[in-house]
A and B are shown apart, each in its own frame.
Chain A
Amino acid sequence: MIDDLFHEQLRSSLDHCVKCTICETACPVANVTPLFPGPKYAGPQAERFRAHGQPADESSVDYCSGCGLCTMSCPQGVKIAELNAHARYAVKQRKGVPLRDRLIARPTVLGRLGTPVAPIANAMLKARPARVLAERVLGIHRDAPIPRFAGRRFRTWARRRQAPGVGTKIVYFHGCGTEYYEPDVGEKVVAVLEHNGYSVEIPEQDCCGLPLQSNGLFEDARKYVQRLARALAPHARDGTLIVGNATSCTLMLKREAREILGLEDDPDLALVSRQTYDICELLLELHDRGQLRTDFEPVEEVVAYHAPCQQQGHWIGKPALELLALVPGLDVRELDARCCGIAGTYGFKREKYQIAMDAGAELFNQVEASGARVVACDSETCRWQIEHGTRRPSVHPIELLHQAYRL
């Protein structure tokens, strides 16, 4: 159960709502479906009717994708997305959490099952009959951009690598996407960090709990994120920075776990939260100090850049744009469409797939109009959705820097 006092603190922010509708202009979901009435209605307005411990029948809040753009846009500091996450949790508490949500919210379980049998698992994910069956039985949409297993784990590479062991110590939090689906991105992150003089440590780690949190499984999410915080805290305690490329997972560590799961009092998480950096945030600060190596070779490419919602939730602007601008030859087109629609596991769900595709349509159109052959984006699930929606490859900005460094 959510701590009452904590929930009351969150609720107190709704008194700052002046009903100005700015959050409504930011919401990617309400824009495309009447099933979600918008952040103002579902958040500060409906919240007044959600007396704690009282029954409230409102399934519409389940259609909030949790992107957080409403909170970021609010000029009054109302915690709209966080209130909606709590309302979603309450609905799920009452109605129960479907098996599907319990399954797709556990990347570790899926990754461990799928990795050893990757060729078969990937073939199944591609096979139409299997996907139709999964849609009927589980409710995972047949066309959803489910990632392919890499067939190897990042940690296997990490254990075998020869670390140079010199330079400023930094801890790499790679996340589940890197571990099971994109180990090559993790290798590039390590190479770029080492090129810039860091000694990279990759401690044992597991899921941050974000998918569980966004699926309303708060108790399980807490276990995961607290375990991760315990694993990372000893490093943070001696002043070491923690850096990650999975921008939604670093945001979970920085802010969301504390604000949504009510873990403000967890000392390990508080410490880890302060020391955690998004990779592009870190490199931009390095550049600001004149310490980023800029021995970039030209990369002749037109690239569209999309800053995902969760990256925007760091409240740091778009550091990737400034980093990519350092690469000679690279022609970067910033896209201003807000959201690709996927929102983690949201767009995988049968009843939400089309909403996610509609929410992303503006972004897909902008990619098309930009003339870019590649789309850079900081979040892995967003990249999978962008590839699905645009039929163009999508890469993490760090991959372009890695390419320019010729590492």
Chain B
Amino acid sequence: MTSSLHYDAVVVGVGVAGLTAAIRLAEGGARVCVLAKGVGSTHLAPGTVDVLGYRPERVEHPAAALPEFVGAHPDHPYALIGPDAIAPALDRFAAHIERGPQPGYRYTGGLDRNHLLPTAVGAIRPSALVPETMAAGDARSSVPVCVVGMRVLRDFHASLCAGNIRRAGIPARAVEVEIDVGRVEANSLGLARRFDDESFRAAFVGRLALLLRPGERVALPAVLGLRDPHGAWSDLQRRLGRAVFEVPTLPPSAPGMRVYNALVAALRAAGGRLVLGAEVLDVEREGDRVTGVRAHTSGHDTIYHAGWIVLATGGFASGGIELGSDWAASETILGLSLQGMPRPGEARFTADYFGHQPMAGVGVAVDSSLRARETENVYVAGAALPGAVPWREGSGQGIALATGHFAAQAVLEREGAAATA
């Protein structure tokens, strides 16, 4: 027995691109179902929205840099959708976070100017839209930084972070706080849950306050609450009487989980449906139209029929695209053609790990509306798109948000056109 359900649109993938597309579709009046094999990259990413950080020199003002950037990179997702399509997606994202389940928690910034924020190892990273809890880390400020480590959080190296911040020209030092969490080690999520608790924060501040020097701002690993990060962060600033900011951690990422929680709440509020665990195996077609996707549910498969499909399955890292041992790469669900594959004889990889890796630009071939070229009704968003090297450009979350939003708009416009006709 195979189950069968009908929706206006099915989105495959529950990362930022998939959730953004699904929310926009649901808010536009479509009945939407999101299918995902598991939780996506939100839980691993730092939670900042990096739109354009390097071209390859560091970008101060993304809005000003984007026109030239897309001119130089005509195959880039930003070039396909046009730089003007980015800002509306960022605005909506910020609004979803503000209306989300974390009271008072908001993002700050935009395309005018990049924040320059320290990473987990203290390298300076440009980012357009960032959680309010991170903004005070901007490297343009010369206010000395005290990076606070905690012995229970073994994966956060305060002295390494402080050393690299110093190298960027900002006075910085590291301190370590001993705090009892009832176990010998905790990850950032375990600590974030503790920081939701006011009495825990009070005890933490009691220890930390003794270690701080006048005039320092405080850098903490991004563990300031999961349910109430705004409350936790404000409370720490008030108690310490100084600026406090979060520094991204190794996974799991508390700010990333806040993004996931807020976007899933927005999807739910808009009437969209989310099915986790259901791996999409293949599709049903009629000519160039995909009429449904077959998902593996327990016991029997389920066909989710839909007029529109948004593919937000990610690139090589997420399994949206595969590279075989015969060097043949393919999109995994529909077997869609890829673009950007190095030709036989051309270099596929370069020796510089963080350099321009030719394979990085491989993605599903789409037209300027992000429609997969071989199909009538499949749209592609996020890391499955070709033409970008996100880790070099500092563009991953920006591409996910902007193309997720754009793909949904494209579907809604055609749906609207179909309705009028």
A interface list, Cβ under 8 A from B: 20-22, 24-26, 31, 34, 71-77, 239, 241, 251, 253-255, 273-277, 281, 284-285, 288-289, 312-318, 322, 334, 336
Contact yes or no, A25 B296, CB < 8 A: no
Residues in A whose Cβ lies below 8 Å from that of B300: 254, 273-275
Check B193–A20 contact: CB distance below 8 A: no
Chain B proximity of A213: nearest CB distance (Å): 15
A21 touching B43 in the complex, CB below 8 Å, given contacts A31-B190, A75-B318, A285-B5:
yes
Q: Which residues of A contact B38 (CB under 8 A)?
A: 22, 72-77
B166 an interface residue at 8 Å Cβ cutoff? no
CB pair A315–B296 under 8 Å, yes or no, is yes
Q: Which residue of B lies closest to A250 (CB)?
A: B299
| Of the residues B5, B318, B319, contact of A284 by C-beta under 8 Å | B5
Which B residue sits closest to A289, measured CB to CB? B4
A34 touches B44 (CB 8 A): no
Docked Cα-Cα span, A312 to B101, in Å, equals: 22
Given contacts A20-B251, A314-B298, A316-B297, contact A285 B275 (CB under 8 A): no
Contact with A along B64-77 (1 / 0, CB 8 A): 00000000000000
Q: Could you pull out 30 A-B pairs where Cβ atoms are within 8 angstroms?
A: A21-B189, A21-B251, A24-B187, A25-B252, A25-B257, A26-B39, A31-B190, A73-B38, A73-B276, A74-B38, A75-B318, A77-B37, A77-B38, A77-B279, A241-B1, A273-B299, A274-B1, A275-B1, A275-B299, A275-B300, A281-B3, A288-B4, A314-B298, A315-B277, A315-B278, A316-B302, A317-B273, A317-B275, A334-B268, A336-B264
Q: Are A288 and B252 in contact (CB under 8 A)?
A: no
Query: B187, A21: Cβ atoms under 8 Å?
Result: yes
Q: When chains A and B are docked, how far (Å) is the Cα of A402 from the Cα of B257?
A: 38
Residues of B contacting A255 in the complex (Cβ-Cβ under 8 angstroms): 298-299
Given A21-B251, A34-B183, A254-B298, 12 other A-B residues pairs in contact with their CB atoms under 8 A: A21-B187, A22-B39, A22-B44, A31-B190, A31-B193, A72-B276, A75-B37, A77-B279, A273-B299, A288-B6, A314-B297, A317-B276
Residues of chain B with a CB closer than 8 A to A274's CB: 1, 299-300
Contact A285/B4 with A73-B276, A77-B279, A316-B297 known, Cβ cut-off 8 Å: yes
State whether A75 and B276 are in contact (beta carbons under 8 Å apart), knowing that A20-B251, A241-B1, A315-B296 are contacts in the complex: no
In chain B, residues 268-295, which have Cβ atoms closer than 8 Å to a Cβ of chain A?
268, 273-279, 295
A312/B299 in contact, CB under 8 A = no
- CB of B241 within 8 A of chain A? no
CA distance A108 to B101 in the complex (A): 43
- The distance in angstroms between the C-alpha atoms of A31 and B299, with both chains bound, is 30
Q: Mark B295-313, 1 if CB is under 8 A from A, else 0.
A: 1111110100000000000
User: Least Cβ distance of B416 to chain A in Å?
Assistant: 24
Give, as a whole number of angstroms, the nearest-CB distance from B361 to chain A: 22
- Taking a contact as CB atoms closer than 8 A, the residue among A24, A77, A254 that contacts B252 in the complex is A24
- Interface extent on B, as a size class? 35 or more
Contact mask for chain B residues 232-253; partner A; CB cutoff 8 A; 1 contact, 0 none: 0000000000000000000110
Nearest first, the 7 A-B pairs at minimum CB distance are: A254-B299, A315-B277, A75-B38, A317-B275, A34-B183, A72-B277, A255-B298
Query: In the assembled complex, how far is the CB of residue B136 from the closest CB belonging to chain A, in whole angstroms?
Result: 26
Which A residue's beta carbon lies closest to that of B13?
A75
Q: How far is the CA of A72 from the CA of B35 in the complex (A)?
A: 12
B56 contacts the other chain (Cβ, under 8 Å)? Answer: no
Residues of A within 8 A of B37 (CB): 75, 77
- Bound form: Cα–Cα A20–B36 in Å: 17
- Which of B40, B184, B295, B300: most chain A CB closer than 10 A? B300
Residues of A within 8 Å of B43, CB to CB, are: 20-22, 25
CB distance from B362 to the nearest CB of A (A): 20
Instruction: Please name the residue on chain B nearest to A287 by beta carbon.
Output: B5
Interface residues of B in 182-202 (CB under 8 A from A): 182-184, 187, 189-190, 193
- State whether A22 and B252 are in contact (beta carbons under 8 Å apart), knowing that A285-B5, A288-B4 are contacts in the complex: yes
Residues on B with C-beta less than 8 A from A20 are 43-44, 251
Contacts of B189 in A (CB 8 A): 21, 24-25
Query: Which of B6, B190, B277 makes the CB contact (< 8 A) with A313?
Result: B277
Q: State the Cβ distance, B304 to closest chain A Cβ, in Å.
A: 10
Chain A residues within 8 Å of B279, by CB: 77
B40 adjacent to A322 (CB under 8 Å): no
Is A285 within 8 A of B3, CB to CB? yes
Per the bound structure, the CA–CA distance linking A277 and B300 in Å amounts to 9
User: Which residues of the other chain, A, contact B184 by a CB distance below 8 angstroms?
Assistant: 34
Q: Report the Cα distance A317→B3, complex, angstroms.
A: 13
A152 → chain B, closest Cβ, in Å? Answer: 31
Contacts of A254 in B (CB 8 A): 298-300
Residues of B within 8 A of A281 (CB): 3
Q: In the complex, what distance in Å separates the CA atom of A273 from the CA atom of B268?
A: 31
B277: chain A residues within 8 A (beta carbon): 71-72, 312-313, 315
The CA-CA distance from A254 to B296 in the complex, in Å, is 12
A379–B40 Cα distance when bound, in Å, is: 27
Contact for A251 among B183, B295, B298, B302, CB less than 8 A: B298
Are the CB atoms of B44 and A288 closer together than 8 Å?
A: no
A71 to B264, CA, bound (A): 20
A residues near B299, Cβ cutoff 8 Å: 253-255, 273-277, 314
Find chain B residues with CB under 8 A from A273 CB.
299-300
Return A53 CB to nearest CB of chain B, in Å: 31
B275 touches A315 (CB 8 A): yes
Residue of A with least CB distance to B41: A75
Contacts of A285 in B (CB 8 A): 3-5
Chain B 37-53: CB-based contact to A (< 8 A → 1; otherwise 0): 11110011000000000
The chain A residue sitting closest to B182, CB to CB, is: A34
A182 to B92 alpha-carbon distance, docked (Å)? 47
The CA of A25 and the CA of B43, in the complex, are separated in Å by: 8
- Could you tell me the distance between the alpha carbons of A58 and B302 in the complex, rounded to whole angstroms? 39
Q: Which residue of B lies closest to A288 (CB)?
A: B5
B157 → chain A closest CB, angstroms: 17
Determine how close the nearest CB of chain A comes to the CB of B127; give it in whole angstroms: 22
Closest chain A CB from B106 CB (angstroms): 20
CA gap between A237 and B6 in the complex, in Å: 27
Q: How far is the CA of A253 from the CA of B1 in the complex (A)?
A: 14
> A258: nearest residue on chain B (CB-CB)?
B299
Q: Mark B147-191, 1 if CB is under 8 A from A, else 0.
A: 000000000000000000000000000000000001110010110
> Which residue of A is nearest B7, CB measured?
A288
For the complex formed, measure the closest distance between the CB of A196 and the CB atoms of chain B, giving whole angstroms.
17
The answer to whether residues A315 and B297 also contact, given A75-B318, A76-B38, A77-B279 and a CB cut-off of 8 A, is: yes
* A315 and B257 within 8 A (CB): no
Residues of chain A within 8 A of B261, CB atoms compared = 336
In the assembled complex, the CB of A94 is this many whole angstroms from the nearest CB of chain B, namely 26
Contact A313 B252 (CB under 8 A): no
- Which of B4, B36, B278, B299 is the most central at the interface, judged by chain A CB atoms within 10 Å of its CB? B299
Bound together, the chains give a CA A235 to CA B261 distance in angstroms of: 43
Q: From residue A237, how far is it (CB to closest CB) to chain B in Å?
A: 12
Contact partners of A317 in chain B: CB under 8 A: 33, 273-276, 278
